[in-house]
Amino acid sequence: MTDVNPQATPPPTRTPRFDFDTVIDRTGTPSMKWQWYGEDVLPMWVADMDFRSPPAIVEALRERAVHGVFGYEQHPADLPEIIAERLKRLYDWDVTPEAITFLPGIVSGFNVASRAFVRQDEGLLIQTPVYMHILHAAQDAGVQNHAMALSRRADGYATVDLDRFEQTITDRTRLFLLCNPHNPVGRVFTREELAGMAEICARHDLVICSDEIHCDLIFSGHQHVPIATLDPEIETRTITLMAPSKTFNIAGLHCGFAVIPNRELRRRYQHGRGGLVGMPNLLGYAAARAAYLEGQPWLDALLRYLETNRDLLADYLAQYMPQLHMVAPEGTYLAWIDCRGAQLPQSPYTFFLERARVAFNDGAAFGPGGEGFIRLNFGCPRSLLLEGLDRMRAALETLEA
């Protein structure tokens, strides 16, 4: 009988298990999400998940901190190539590392585009309801706001009316700010929808700036398509904004990037920074590199957890709060909930804050089409999601008493 050396035997292959159930106490920290309201309020608003970031990111930050020297730094030399390889793997998108421009955040990214490509007597096109910083981008840049409303089918599903899209464009429109996956409605636009919008933009010679920060947070049955990948002509007029921040819950580290394959477009974009928009900080770079090199197993597990949360939310509303309506989001961890059927005595935001002590984003803050809605963040441990839903249910039941 031959003795087996256990150290020579390879360990069994195991799927890494990540903990998304533990409630991490964020009270008493500088967290915007948890400090904004009173201690008795459960915050389910700002797009900030209540999960620890991947262990690989935490370790990368620890190693960088231990180094102890925090002078001026450029991005890691291999980070543009890592991103380019990722874009090829995920979207079959061939991008040179030179096409990648780093930014401290995506909001800075589309504000730079607004200033670089739109003059004061010109306008930019947006689709409402939409992320509030996109909603106010024209005002912030001192240009005209050319806004069109997303359409809603009878079941509440949001769509793009291409006729209305084109009719909103004027001879002074210069830029289209696209949000895909869409915040707050949760749509992941199809290739056909994107092609329709892109064709109209090309016909009217619009630059496209596409906020795709939620592109990694896509649920089963859907596929993210960067609008720049539709064809080479669209790519030449497109600035694509991406970041690891929402995906890996590292928004506070401020690291994003723009993908701009067209050299002249990239030059104009860089000029538009005007010495006002800097670069990510060195810890943001370290976290981004670790996220893209080692974070995929964590992301795979996160998506399964978020999808279960989304489905639990949908089932709970249907069973216990049928007066509220939600179209299941196709991406993001944000639910867009129509409260108009509840006939609340005040705005749903105020009602649930005062009577349920749960804080959501007020739908009206996302512009026309958001009135009567709330945006709920289900990127949290399941126990917190259930607590928030139970509080909402109890508040609604007081109306029936």
Q: What is the pLDDT of residues 87-120, one digit of tens each?
A: 999 999 999 999 999 999 999 999 999 999 999 9
Mean pLDDT along residues 253-266 = 98
State how far the Cα of 344 lies from the Cα of 289, in Å rounded to an integer: 47
Mean pLDDT along residues 233-253 = 98
Mean pLDDT along residues 41-55 = 97
Given this model, what pLDDT does residue 3 score? Answer: 35
Q: Is the backbone peptide bond immediately before 129 cis, with ω within 30 degrees of 0? A: yes
Q: Give backbone dihedrals phi and psi of 156, rounded to 5 degrees, phi first.
A: 90, -5
Residue 321: which pLDDT band, with cuts at 50, 70 and 90? very high
DSSP designation for 39: T
User: Does residue 201 contact residue 148 with C-beta atoms inside 8 Å?
Assistant: no
Residue 28: which pLDDT band, with cuts at 50, 70 and 90? confident
Alpha-helix residue ranges (DSSP H) falling in 118-179: 132-135, 137-141, 162-168
Given this model, what pLDDT does residue 10 score? Answer: 37
Mean pLDDT along residues 323-337 = 98
DSSP designation for 118: -
- In order of their start, the domains of the chain are 18-48+296-400 (3.90.1150.10), 60-294 (3.40.640.10)
Span 158-171, pLDDT tens digits: 999 999 999 999 99
Please report, as a single letter, which amino acid is at residue 306: L
Q: Is the backbone peptide bond immediately before 329 cis, with ω within 30 degrees of 0? A: no
Mean pLDDT along residues 365-386 = 98
User: Does residue 355 contact residue 369 with C-beta atoms inside 8 Å?
Assistant: no
Alpha carbon of residue 17 to chain centroid: 25
Name the helix (H) or strand (E) containing 158.
Answer: strand 158-159
- The CB density around residue 154, as the number of other CB atoms within 10 Å, is 5
Mean pLDDT along residues 379-391 = 98
State how far the Cα of 244 lies from the Cα of 249, in Å rounded to an integer: 8
Q: Above 60 in pLDDT, residue 5?
A: no
Span 133-154, pLDDT tens digits: 999 999 999 999 999 999 999 9
Span 224-241, pLDDT tens digits: 999 999 999 999 999 999
Alpha-helix residue ranges (DSSP H) falling in 153-281: 162-168, 191-203, 232-236, 263-272
